[in-house]
Each structure stands twice: as structure tokens, then as C-alpha cells.
Amino acid sequence: MKTLITSVLLIITLFSLANLSHANPHLDTFGRLPFVKDIQLSPDGKHIAYLREVNHEYIVVVQSLVNPKQQPRTLKISDNRMRDINWVGDKKLLFTSSGTLYSGGDFETFTLYRTGIMDIDDGSVVWPFDSAKFKYNVSGPKLESKMSKDTSHIIMSYYYRLGADATSSEQKRTARKERKLMNAVFKINIEDGSRDRVFSKSDIMDFTVDDQGDIVMYKKYDKRSDTSMNMYLVPNTNDYEALYIKEGEELSLFDYSVIKLSPNRKAIYYYGLKDDDIGVLLEGRIEGNKVVESKIISENQIYDLDYILVDYNTTELIGYDVERDYNEASFFDVTHAQAYADLVATFPDAEVNINSSNRENTKFVASITGDQNPEEYFLYDTQEGSLAFLGSGFPLPQDAQLQKVRRHTYKASDDLPLFAYLTLPKANEAKKHKLIVLVHGGPASRDSKIFSWERQFFAAMGYAVFQPNFRGSEGFGRAFKEAGYGEWGKRMQSDIDEGVDSLIAAGIVDPKHVCIVGASYGGYAAMYAATAKPDMYQCAVSFGGISELSNIFYHEEQQKNTISYWTNSIGERSALEELKKHSPLFMATEKTSPILLLHGSEDTVVPSFQSDKMHKRLIELGHKDTQYIEIEGEDHWMSSGNSRRIYLENAIRFIEKNI
């Protein structure tokens, strides 16, 4: 392990930072999309690709690392938003974009994801799924294998409805009768975008595909018995058999979530629970069609396995991540493990993520994020021993200073141990601070110490920022997450309140100057706090929040989504009085604290009428200080830089007025 010396290889300045207002430099710094995002290295190590913010949206940019005089190649697809990129060849870049579509038949707006392949030499794009049967699919296709030994093809999975491309009246009548959803695997030619369907079934959910492109496993669902089983491709045959697991003397269907199989198919890696609580990575040996001698191979005790790590070019399993204060990686192979150790030694107080590598795994692009690292990117050449700075998501003015984030532990009134993150402003650190309670969404999500533009903006404006990981948050075991089931407006909310009480008792914050802010579930929590405890919270700011719980079930059905998650999280949809009792829309009174409501007009997760109805109710109650801002064209995630600025600018003005 060694500490690396940083040099500047390439600061990405393709387009100038535009029109800084200087009226509020913190707005200029944080009220925007990251300047660059998701920098990735091509397999031959000669190019980088990344998402670049231009005019409040992302474009795809490809730059040469070997010829600095070569003009960058850029890509923007009409009004679609660029979401992610992935190299699938030395000159081929897979990308996903999204757009919205209003369906008159459904009276709903849907977010549609589309995937294309860009040639970096001429900028041309091919669309592998540009046909009628995929036209109205909501989600995008999934990359299953890069097939590193076949430089012309990749494997992707996608779904379609039988008859979706029907043309004759008879075909359409038959299709309407069957309405059968097919899940399929396709071999995609990355040169021309042509596809060959290699596998399809109507009763399957997941595929496991190896580097050769073979479907070595899929999950089959049986409606009659309401059970699922993993179907395993027996080596040296074309036959799939149901996979079983032997635990002690018991033999049962193997219904775990499969992650990968070893290249020789003799070992299986899957997700399970330690002590029926903590999510872990397990390895089992396969004998025939049985999994035997399973063992835990991840070393996490308190926190769940967050995600697995795969080789960028082969998609083979190489490690796993566990999120503590930061994501911490463990690699199985020496090459990645050594590179990661070198980077962690260089950035000991930040989260290190290896985003991509060249084919030989001698060059790595890493992202560094933390309370002192605003989403920075570096190129590490292990042969040269060099570390070169590529760019930052949030370039800071010369005199700017990010504030330190620390843990704050406390206990709920039922003695459940909880912790939060507390960020104090730079000035007057000894006095009692004005407080912003910043509540995460989900609620099956969590806060950590990685860089947060919201947290740092509010701290820069002179406020203490408190981010509680209340029960129901993800990453702390099954019991902790399920402790939040049915607790909207109850224990999840009191966990937030009691965290604020602990800060007041410690003399850290001024109880007369507290505002609560959040988006999505956090927006719900903010509205709930303003209606249930106006004496504790002098104001609230909600972006894309839920004001009426019962409606979320109807909306999810209209979006063609399952409602099982919401039934677990919120409660039974039939319990209307209970849902109404904990809905801010029906809780609001004349005593409710001032609430600022913001919402994207094209939010397909939480429709904007949730905020509109809340605003109208507050106006009916005589609240002249309430405000509602609907941001035209914005979605649920503040995907436009302009929306982030509108949000922060109006939020800070509202907060300063009320606390």
C-alpha cells in the first residue's frame, strides 16, 4: 500500500462555466448538476467518456487521452435526459436516456428509458430495440454480459408483450386476449444494432449470463404455487434443472437471489441474510443440481452488503461493497485490491470507487467523494505509479471551504439505538445554531458521509444540518428496515423528532430556529412535521412530497407498478381512516407551520397534484405564507441543474424568512 502523488493530467474544460451570478456564490457552486459525472475509461485505455453539464442538462462527451488536439465527440438525444454510459468496446459506448410520454388512454405521464450505442469515431448511433414491440416499454433493457472474447457483441435482456407489433386486426385481437409478457435475452451486434433473440419465456424474472454469453441460470415463477425457483444450466448439456440447496439434512428449492456463477459453474454466489437480519454475500458449491457447503464470504457484521463489484470489461464478480459512513470495498483479486488500497491510503477520509479500468487492469478511473471531496475523478496508472486529476463534479471557488460531517448518536424513546449525520457551519461554532433537518427519501434509503450538495449549501449559508437515519432506513439489517413498516407518521417520524430533541438537550441548536426539509419521503416527513408539531418546526420545505397516502396506491397501479412495496411500507390500502389520519393533507390546521412546496410537472413517481392539493388546502385554512412552485418539465429527481437552483434559492429565502 502506498500514498500516491497527484498531478493534473486533464481538467475537463470543454465548455466554460456559464454565467455565474456572484449574487450568491454558494448558489453558483451547489445549485447545479455536477459539472462532470461518471467518467469512464475505454477498454484500450485511450479515451474517457463522461456526462457533462451544459445548459442545466447532461450531454455525453468522449475525449482522447493520447491526442489532446483531437476534438471531443459529444452526443445529445433531442429533449431526452442522458442517464448513464458504459463502454462496450474500444470505440463503442452504450448509453441510456429517458423522456416522458403522456398516455391519453391511461391519463398518466410515464418515464420511458431508451438505450443506444454510439460510435465514437463518427458519432453515429444505433438503437438495438427500436421496433414496435418495445415502443411503449417503461423501463430500459439490461446489460447482462459484455462478452469480452467477442468484440462485436453484447448480451442484453428486455421484455415485450406478445402481439405488441401486431399489424392486422386479427393479430391485434389475439394479442389483446393473451396480453402475455415475455422476458427475453438478446445477442446485440454493437456495430449495426441488430439483435438475435436467444431465449424467451413468459414466466421468468431474472437471468444469469456468463462472459461467453451463455444463460447459465434464470428464475422461474410458478403462479399456481406462488413460488419461484432458480433453473440451472447443467454443464455439458442444454438442459435446465431446478436448483436445490442442502442445509443440514434438509433439501429445499434454492430461491435465493443469485449474483453470479463462477466461470466453471462449480460455485454460486448469492445474497442471503446472516442471522435472518444482515444482508451478506454467500458462496456455495454446486453438485449436480444441488448447492452444498454454503458459507458467508463477505465480512460485514453490522451493515448490509450494499452491492457487488464486477470487472468492468468482463462483468465477472471481483468483490463487494458495504456502506458504513462511506462505501468500503473488498476485492477478491490482487490487482483490484492493491489499486484500491493505494487509493484509500491517498484519500483516507473519503469514499473511493473504482469506476472503470482498461482491459489489462493497469489503469483505473476512480471517483472520490466525501465531505472534503466534491465528487472528484482521478486516473491511476499502476505501472507508472501516477495519479492524475481529471475533474470535479463541483469545482470550488478558491476561498471556498467544505464543512466537516460527523456522526451524532442517540436513542429513540423505545431505546432503539439511532445515529445521524451532523454538519455545523463554519462561523460561530460555539453558539447554538439555527437548524435544518434534512430528511432522506425512500424511505428505504439512507444518508452517509459522501458529498452532498444540499448539506454543504445549507451549511455554507450558516445553518447546522441534521440528517437522521430513522428506522426504516436501508443498510442496517432487515429488522431495522422492517421496523419502519407501517410507521409513516409514527415511529419513523418520532425518530426524527427525538434526534432534534437530543441536539437541543446537548445545547447544539436553538429550539426556536428549526426548519425541516426533504424530498420524496423526506417531503412527506417535512409536511407531517409542520402539521403535527408546529411548535417544534417553525417551517418546512417539501420537494416532490406525498401529502395524501391513500393516493399513492392508485398512482402506482396506473404506472403499471406493483403495490406490494407500498403495502409493506405504508400499510393496507383498505385502511383508509388510518391512512387519512397520517396524511398531511388532512392533518393541516390553522396552526400548521409555513410550508414551501416544490414539485416537478413531469414527476412520474409522486404526481404534482400531491403538492398542489396541499397548497390549496393551506390557502383554504388562511395560510398566506404558504408557497407552491411547480417546475415545468422537471421530474422526481431534480435532473435539471436549473431545478436545483430554483429549489435552493427559494428554500433558503423561505427558511431565512421563517427562522
| Segment 156-172, tens digit of pLDDT | 999 998 865 555 555 44
Q: Helix, strand or coil for residue 283?
A: strand
Which amino acid would we find at residue 13? T
Contact of 211 with 148, CB cutoff 8 Å: yes
d(CA 608, CA 181): 30
Please give the CATH number for the structural domain made up of 405-658.
3.40.50.1820
Q: Check whether 174 has a pLDDT greater than 60.
A: no
The more confidently predicted of residues 552 and 174 is: 552
Which grid coordinates belong to 267?
A: 460455485
β-bridge partners, 411: 417
β-bridge partners, 209: 215
Q: Report residue 561 CA to chain centroid gap.
A: 18
Q: Check whether 310 has a pLDDT greater than 50.
A: yes
Report the alpha-carbon angle 98-649-403, nearest 5.
95
d(CA 299, CA 534): 44
At residue 579, the pLDDT reads 94
Q: Report residue 340 CA to chain centroid gap.
A: 23
Q: What is the greatest pairwise CA distance in the chain? A: 77
Question: Nearest 10 degrees: CA dihedral of 570, 573, 578, 582?
Answer: 50
| Segment 472-531, tens digit of pLDDT | 999 999 999 999 999 999 999 999 999 999 999 999 999 999 999 999 999 999 999 999
Q: Helix, strand or coil for residue 190?
A: coil
d(CA 397, CA 346): 23
Contact of 157 with 171, CB cutoff 8 Å: no
* Cis before 68? omega within 30: no
pTM of the model: 0.91
Q: Report residue 78 CA to chain centroid gap.
A: 24
β-bridge partners, 218: 207, 231
Which amino acid would we find at residue 459? A
Contact of 490 with 459, CB cutoff 8 Å: no
Residue 454 CA neighbour count, 13 Å, CB half: 24
Q: Report the 10 Å Cβ neighbour count for 264.
A: 9
| Segment 590-617, tens digit of pLDDT | 999 999 999 999 999 999 999 999 999 9
- CA atoms 271, 273, 278, 282: torsion sign: negative
- Which range is least confidently modeled, 198-202, 367-371, 504-508, 594-598? 198-202
Of the pLDDT bands very low, low, confident and very high (cuts 50, 70, 90), residue 138 is confident
| Segment 38-95, tens digit of pLDDT | 999 999 999 999 999 999 999 999 999 999 889 999 998 887 889 999 999 999 999 9
At residue 16, the pLDDT reads 42
Alpha helix positions (H), 477-533? 478-482, 491-505, 521-532
Q: Supply the mean pLDDT for the chain.
A: 91
Counting every residue written for the chain, the total comes to: 659
Q: Check whether 139 has a pLDDT greater than 90.
A: no
CA distances in angstroms from 71 to 14, 18, 120, 122, 537, listed in the order given: 9, 20, 11, 12, 53
CA distances in angstroms from 651 to 335, 436, 490, listed in the order given: 47, 11, 26
- Look at strands 539-543 and 433-439 and give their pairing: unpaired
Instruction: Tell me the average pLDDT across 183-188.
Output: 96
CA distances in angstroms from 76 to 17, 52, 96, 464, listed in the order given: 19, 11, 11, 39
Q: Report residue 488 CA to chain centroid gap.
A: 22
Which among 410, 428, 427, 429 is positioned nearest to 419, based on CA atoms?
A: 410
Q: Check whether 188 has a pLDDT greater than 50.
A: yes
Q: Helix, strand or coil for residue 81?
A: strand
- Domain boundary assignment for the chain: 1-96+333-393, 405-658
The backbone torsions φ and ψ at residue 335, rounded to the nearest 5 degrees and listed phi first, read -60, -55
At residue 224, the pLDDT reads 79
- Residue holding cell 467523494? 369
At residue 175, the pLDDT reads 47
At residue 13, the pLDDT reads 47
Which among 521, 540, 518, 519 is positioned nearest to 529, based on CA atoms?
A: 540
- Residue holding cell 463518427? 122
Q: Check whether 10 has a pLDDT greater than 90.
A: no
At residue 535, the pLDDT reads 98
The more confidently predicted of residues 173 and 511 is: 511
Of the pLDDT bands very low, low, confident and very high (cuts 50, 70, 90), residue 2 is low
Who contacts 158 (Cβ-Cβ below 8 Å, separation ≥6)? 129, 134, 137, 140, 141, 142, 183, 184, 186
At residue 15, the pLDDT reads 42
Contact of 459 with 465, CB cutoff 8 Å: yes
Q: Check whether 563 has a pLDDT greater than 90.
A: no
Which among 371, 455, 401, 390 is positioned nearest to 37, based on CA atoms?
A: 390
At residue 529, the pLDDT reads 99
Q: Check whether 202 has a pLDDT greater than 60.
A: yes
CA distances in angstroms from 444 to 269, 324, 440, 645, listed in the order given: 24, 16, 9, 26
Which among 655, 521, 654, 530 is positioned nearest to 585, based on CA atoms?
A: 530
Of the pLDDT bands very low, low, confident and very high (cuts 50, 70, 90), residue 14 is very low
| Segment 418-462, tens digit of pLDDT | 999 999 998 765 689 999 999 999 999 999 999 999 999 999 999
d(CA 439, CA 545): 11
Q: Check whether 22 has a pLDDT greater than 70.
A: no
At residue 166, the pLDDT reads 53
- Look at strands 142-145 and 153-161 and give their pairing: antiparallel
Of the pLDDT bands very low, low, confident and very high (cuts 50, 70, 90), residue 223 is confident
| Segment 248-300, tens digit of pLDDT | 888 999 999 999 999 888 999 999 999 999 999 999 999 999 999 999 999 88
